Amino acid sequence: MSNALLSEETLQMDSPIEGRKGISARRQRIEPSEEFFTIRGVVRVTRLLFVLLLIGGVIGWKATEVSPAFISIPGWILPAALAGVALTFVAYMKPSIARVVAPIYAVVEGLLLGSITKVYEYSFEGIALQAALLTIGVFGTMLWLYSARIVKVTGKMRRFIIGSTVAIMGVYLFQLLMNLLGVNFQTPFLHDSGPVGIVISLVVVVIASMHYLLDFDLIEKAVNSKAPKEVEWLAGFGLLLTTVWVYLEILRLLAKIRSND
């Protein structure tokens, strides 16, 4: 799930120029800084986080064993997934520690992605590279659409994306809860490789991809409002969240399509 971290409130808080914004009392403030939020800073932070993600991915890949006889997924997969969710909320509630939380999240999520990707790769050879290239393509396309002002982020669009995301995450969490309780229930068409299931996955990919537009819009606003430099870690964290979600949904979509080959 992307980007609950990059609210305007978060990116603009405590600007040394404009003074404190009325951020909610439940959130821990980032103290004023003498340096400002920059695009270069976001690129640097994001690059570091993706390096850590790849390192975690290699470890997760090597820790997972697959063969014609069995698939051995490490027991820490579920804890890693839950830890990723917990770290996201920690960063949201205490933005000042995003510098610590974001790298930990990158490694944890890398472990998870590495293991999941190896299982998919065993079943569908070459799918990992396809998903990675398509994710890069989605990022580039969304960046071009935003920078060329072909697509503009409006309040209505933002509400639609966030509302759709909440609905999708609700379905995923419900399915996870059923699995944890041992209930034999599958959300209709969610895992189906037929035409309806493929369309559903395609819609989810589109919704996930649209979060890049929200990321870019809020990062631009942070630059214009001279947000504190510490917020670069939240921005990088948000971009990482979006990319992980897009990659996973593309992986799922490709697997459904190739199941029909």
Question: Residue 13 — pLDDT band, cuts 50, 70, 90?
Answer: very low
- Measured from the Cβ of residue 8, the count of other Cβ atoms closer than 10 Å reads 15
pLDDT at 7 (0 to 100) = 57
pLDDT at 47 (0 to 100) = 96
The Cα–Cα gap between 252 and 92 comes to 28
Q: Cα(first)–Cα(last) distance of the chain, in Å? A: 30
pLDDT at 179 (0 to 100) = 74
Question: Residue 72 — pLDDT band, cuts 50, 70, 90?
Answer: confident
The H-or-E segment that residue 143 falls in is: helix 127-147
**Average pLDDT along the chain:** 83
The Cα–Cα gap between 160 and 196 comes to 22
Between residues 208 and 83, which one has the greater pLDDT? 208
pLDDT at 25 (0 to 100) = 41
Q: Report pLDDT digits (tens) over 35-52.
A: 788 999 999 999 999 999
What is the average per-residue pLDDT within 184-211?
Answer: 85
4, pLDDT greater than 60: no
Q: Report pLDDT digits (tens) over 165-195.
A: 999 888 888 877 877 777 777 776 677 788 8
Question: Residue 3 — pLDDT band, cuts 50, 70, 90?
Answer: low
The Cα–Cα gap between 27 and 36 comes to 21
Cβ atoms of residues 222 and 12 within 8 Å = yes
Q: Report pLDDT digits (tens) over 76-130.
A: 777 877 888 888 888 777 777 888 889 999 999 999 999 999 999 998 999 999 9
Q: Report pLDDT digits (tens) over 220-232.
A: 998 988 888 888 8
CA atoms within 13 A of residue 257's CA, in its CB half-sphere: 13
Which residues make Cβ contacts (< 8 Å) with residue 142, sequence separation at least 6? 209, 210, 212, 213, 216
The three-state secondary structure class of 15 is strand
